[in-house]
Amino acid sequence: MAQTTIDTDRLAQFDAACHGDLIQPGDSDYDDARAVWNGMIDKRPALIVRCAGVADVMAAVEFARDNDLLLAVRGGGHNVAGTAVCDGGLVIDLSAMTGVRVDPEARTAWVQAGATWADLDHETQAFGLATPGGVVSDTGVAGLTLGGGIGHLRCKYGLSCDNLRSVELVTAAGEYLTASADEHPELFWGLRGGGGNFGVVTGFTFELHPVGPEVATCLVVYPGEQLGECLQAYRDYVRAAPADVSTLAFAGVIPDEELFAGDERDAFKIAFLGCHAGAVDAGTRALEPLREFATPMADVSGVMPYAEFQQLLDEDYPDGLRYYWKSLYLDGLSDAAINRIQYWAEAAPSPLSTVDVWQLGGAIADRDGRESAFAGRHAPYLLGVEANWEAPAADGANVEWVRDCLDDMRQFSDGSVYLNFPGFLEEGDAMLQTTFGPAYERLVALKDEYDPTNLFSRNQNIAPSG
């Protein structure tokens, strides 16, 4: 069982052996260190170990195991369910480990597991290279990649996890391993989509691709009354779009102060966002149809540095706001599904919330699904339901809106979900079995081998069979 008091002699020995910082309740930096991106999360760990390197991670895993402490692992701290922290246990905090080393000849980047996408993009773009990340740059590389990784380059270059060459990690037994196609290949399979179940990752090696430095981008907003015809046109567009194009649609009030004033600001809208991973002229032409679905309320499409595009949404997701997000893979975008998307987007209790439709397919679907544990390659679209709000008094209404929307939208889905948008992790095992299908048993076998006592449980947890 997890405990909340730690033997002081053991703690002193551990402290002496660590090069990083140990942070405990009462320390001046404790509240900052336990805060994560989602303001809904308020966990009070007994100990936060801000690791300086692999040796600290090994020592912290051993310390948690030997003292029977609940363990959480923090990469970028952006998991919506707040799995980076825990009550009463130990947090392995990797946020000081942000090193990136690019090999421009080999077109690879080695990155430490506390880095954000902004850290990685900064280094790779210096060489005109990139690997697929997420669409908000202060999200952690680690959590996002281990769960899959769906970003602006996905249809051209696949998921973040598809671009992994190798992963370095510390297992529950305290062993330091490299997993790749050649070393521990089964573990490498599970790490690509199976989340933080198998160890503490300390470093990733990614494949890089020539991208930018400038790319053609699209951000166009239409009146919400035209949501139906816009999403129908989007469905046709996506079918014919070149693989360089990765886009998403989002519906909501989108009260952007720079783009809208007065009544327009408070009106319901439908927007399309995306980029083209290739040459800017071809990209501008390829994105053009997205800008002609109707008469736009705003159109800020254009050519911009890829690194800047990666940061375009950052300020829309500030630390400390209240968030509750879930997802569902969609079988398609039928007229009936579009109708329900309109209904739910208009019903959102908060003007900051959106219902999102992510285009999938392309390089994601082209991969052999058996190569990695990631479970969403079959779907043409991912539905994201994002409740974003400010007042604690509105918690119930916002959470209920997401859950009701998901319940309704299941009629357009096989029920599988993207595990990086986990709500509060309330569905548990049944949802994991639905999502992973036949791969679930293979993941359990891997968990039995690498973490039989479930030391790594603060995640989309694959429970060991014992």
Ligand X SMILES: Cc1cc2nc3c(=O)[nH]c(=O)nc-3n(C[C@H](O)[C@H](O)[C@H](O)COP(=O)(O)OP(=O)(O)OC[C@H]3O[C@@H](n4cnc5c(N)ncnc54)[C@H](O)[C@@H]3O)c2cc1C
Residues binding ligand X (CB under 6 A): 37, 72-80, 83-84, 94, 113, 134-136, 139-140, 142-144, 146-151, 195-196, 200-201, 317, 420, 458-459
- If the CB atoms of residues 144 and 233 are measured against ligand X, the closer one turns out to be 144
Round to whole Å and give the CA distance between 293 and 395. 35
Enter the tokens of residue 263: 């009544």
Residue found by looking up tokens 């009463």 in the block: 88
282 in Cβ contact with 276 (< 8 Å): yes
Round to whole Å and give the CA distance between 288 and 293. 10
Residue found by looking up tokens 């370095």 in the block: 168
- If the CB atoms of residues 37 and 344 are measured against ligand X, the closer one turns out to be 37
Round to whole Å and give the CA distance between 266 and 260. 9
- If the CB atoms of residues 150 and 443 are measured against ligand X, the closer one turns out to be 150
Phi and psi of 285, rounded to 5°?
-65, -40
Least Cβ distance, residue 82 to ligand X (angstroms): 7
Sequence-distant (≥ 6) Cβ neighbours of residue 169 within 8 angstroms? 176, 177, 179, 191, 198, 199, 200, 201, 202
Using DSSP bridges, classify how beta strands 71-74 and 100-103 pair: parallel, antiparallel or unpaired. Answer: unpaired
Least Cβ distance, residue 105 to ligand X (angstroms): 27
Q: Which CA distances in Å does 10 have to 6, 16, 64, 197, 231?
A: 8, 10, 11, 27, 60
Least Cβ distance, residue 182 to ligand X (angstroms): 21
Least Cβ distance, residue 73 to ligand X (angstroms): 4
- If the CB atoms of residues 97 and 345 are measured against ligand X, the closer one turns out to be 97
399 in Cβ contact with 311 (< 8 Å): no
Least Cβ distance, residue 145 to ligand X (angstroms): 8
- If the CB atoms of residues 84 and 409 are measured against ligand X, the closer one turns out to be 84
- If the CB atoms of residues 147 and 283 are measured against ligand X, the closer one turns out to be 147
CA dihedral angle for residue 184, residue 166, residue 147, residue 128, rounded to 10 degrees: -170
Least Cβ distance, residue 457 to ligand X (angstroms): 9
Least Cβ distance, residue 441 to ligand X (angstroms): 21
- If the CB atoms of residues 114 and 283 are measured against ligand X, the closer one turns out to be 114
Strand ranges, E, within 64-199:
71-74, 90-93, 100-103, 108-112, 129-130, 164-170, 176-180
Least Cβ distance, residue 201 to ligand X (angstroms): 4
Using DSSP bridges, classify how beta strands 71-74 and 90-93 pair: parallel, antiparallel or unpaired. Answer: parallel
- If the CB atoms of residues 120 and 297 are measured against ligand X, the closer one turns out to be 120
Q: What is the DSSP string of 283-348?
A: HHHHHGGGGGSS--SEE--EEEEHHHHHTTTGGGS-TTSEEEEEEEEES---HHHHHHHHHHHHT-
Least Cβ distance, residue 115 to ligand X (angstroms): 9
Enter the tokens of residue 334: 């039928």
- If the CB atoms of residues 60 and 253 are measured against ligand X, the closer one turns out to be 60
174 in Cβ contact with 92 (< 8 Å): no
- If the CB atoms of residues 250 and 342 are measured against ligand X, the closer one turns out to be 250
**Per-position b or e across 376-407, b if 16+ CB within 10 A of its CB:** bbebbbbbbbbbbbeeeeeeeebbebbbebbe
Least Cβ distance, residue 262 to ligand X (angstroms): 28
Least Cβ distance, residue 140 to ligand X (angstroms): 2
Dmax (CA) of the chain: 69
- If the CB atoms of residues 135 and 330 are measured against ligand X, the closer one turns out to be 135
